[in-house]
Amino acid sequence: MSEQEINYPVYSPTSVIGIFSNALKLNATVNLIYLKGRYAYGAGKSYGNFYYDLLFSESDHSSIGIRISSLLRSKITNNEVYTLKGFIEKSIKNSSIELRFVVDEIIQQEEKSISEDELQRYELIQKKLEMGSKDLETLIRDKMLKDDKIRIANIYGNNAIVQKDFAEGLDVSSIHFEIDNYSCNITSATAILSTLKELSLKNYDMIGLVRGGGDRQSMETFNDLSLSDYFITINALMVTAIGHTVDETLLDRLADKRFHLPHDYGVGLHSIAEKLSLERSNSRALLIDEVKKDVRKQFSEQVETLEKQLKKKNEEFTEAQKTYKEQVENQSKTFADQLKVRNDEFHKLQASSAKQLEELQKNFQEQQKQRALELDHYKKEIAALHEKNVQSAVSEKTATLQANLETLRQDNIRLKEEAQKGKTNYVVILVSVIIALVLGFILAKIT
């Protein structure tokens, strides 16, 4: 540190804010001025007999805070254009200075002209009224009675964190719902429209447009006419929970069900589901009691009816027994008579059958004897024929051999003659001898 210390002023944050606040001494902050714009209600509660609302420029979405007394506020209609007289006051919050217009007098309320956009908004609202709104409780009731889960698609902004608010509100009733989360640029009507077109093809029971808050200027996204026109054509039940409790957008008016906050959305579903579960339990208990009473009554009536029927049946049974006994006796007598006739017929048939059998046996024996005689005769004829055939064959062979023998004899005679003539031929003689031996052997075999 140098020997000569440097002197400079040191301020606290409060001092800096106070200096700049006191420096903003403009005529508009000390004099009364006139302010014109579209009046919009704020939170709806008074603080110290004053309301804190907003005044929007007619040409754009810029706004300034309004502080107005309860008396003057009672003369104001929301979303109408007013000329107000008052002054500007400053409000310091941390390091920011907020300007607020304090109303002293209402100068004029302008007649509201209907623009082309407002006319289209009116036509969309009329169209939705003609179409009718789907009832959220009816949808949940029908699904729960069938033990089906309600399929919900919730659209959130990119990087949104309000899903947990919805889940906390839904609490234990989540078991009745099947919930899918989708994200898009929630401040862009084009992005929301594209997401809705995608989801409309997936047959969800409900589609929710969920936002946790934000500046009022971005709320105009939910007044977009193209988005609103498509919004009412979707078959699913449409829900809005876009985070502003006072401002009502066109989509809020066109929705089948509107919730102010994501948490309210979850709580609403939980309340309906819990109510229906309780009704179902109570109805079941009442139904059981009624059924018990009806069963007792029906049982008593049935017992009485059965007793009467049993008495009648006993009487009928006694009469039937008597009739049956008579019928049995008659049938037994008839059967005995028929049995006697059948026995006589059977004995006659048996005797006739025995006689026929005896005659058949006698005829069979005679036929057997005749067949035996015929067989012997056939055998004799066959033996004689065989003998005749053998003798014929032997005679034929004998004649042939005798012819051959005769030929040999003639040859022998011729040979002898030649031998006598001195022309002895030993070879011929030898051959003749052999032939003679062979013929002799054959004849010996045949005979």
pLDDT, mean of residues 66-72 = 91
Could you tell me the pLDDT band of residue 156, with boundaries at 50, 70 and 90? very high
DSSP E strands: which ranges in 197-275? Answer: 206-210, 237-241, 257-258
DSSP E strands: which ranges in 308-370? Answer: none
Instruction: Tell me the C-alpha distance between 445 and 309, whole Å.
Output: 116
Instruction: Tell me the C-alpha distance between 177 and 171, whole Å.
Output: 11
Could you tell me the pLDDT band of residue 262, with boundaries at 50, 70 and 90? very high
pLDDT tens-digit readout, 23-57: 655 565 567 889 898 898 886 778 888 998 999 88
- 0.75 surpassed by pTM: no
Distance, CA of 384 to chain centre: 100
pLDDT, mean of residues 135-146 = 92
- DSSP 8-state code for residue 134: P
pLDDT tens-digit readout, 415-436: 777 767 655 566 667 777 888 8
CATH number for the region 13-109 comes to 2.40.50.140
Q: Dmax over Cα atoms in the chain, in whole Å?
A: 204
| Range name among 171-180, 231-240, 372-381 with the lowest pLDDT average | 372-381
Strand partners, 79: none
Please give the backbone phi and psi of residue 313, each rounded to the nearest 5 degrees, phi first.
-65, -35
- CA-only gyration radius of the chain, Å: 67
- DSSP 8-state code for residue 95: T
CA quadruple 324, 330, 332, 338: dihedral sign: negative
Q: Which CATH superfamily is domain 136-260 in?
A: Response regulator (3.40.50.2300)
Nearest to residue 435, comparing CAs of 403, 399, 409? 409
pLDDT tens-digit readout, 73-101: 989 988 888 999 998 888 777 667 788 89
Supply the pLDDT for residue 1: 46
Domain ranges of the chain: 13-109, 136-260
Q: Assess whether pLDDT exceeds 50 at residue 129.
A: yes
Strand partners, 52: 67
pLDDT tens-digit readout, 216-250: 667 788 989 999 999 999 999 999 998 765 667 89
pLDDT tens-digit readout, 323-373: 888 888 888 888 888 888 888 888 888 888 888 888 888 888 888 888 888
Pairing of strands 63-69, 50-56: antiparallel
Which of the given ranges, 155-169, 213-227, 432-446, has the highest pLDDT on average? 155-169
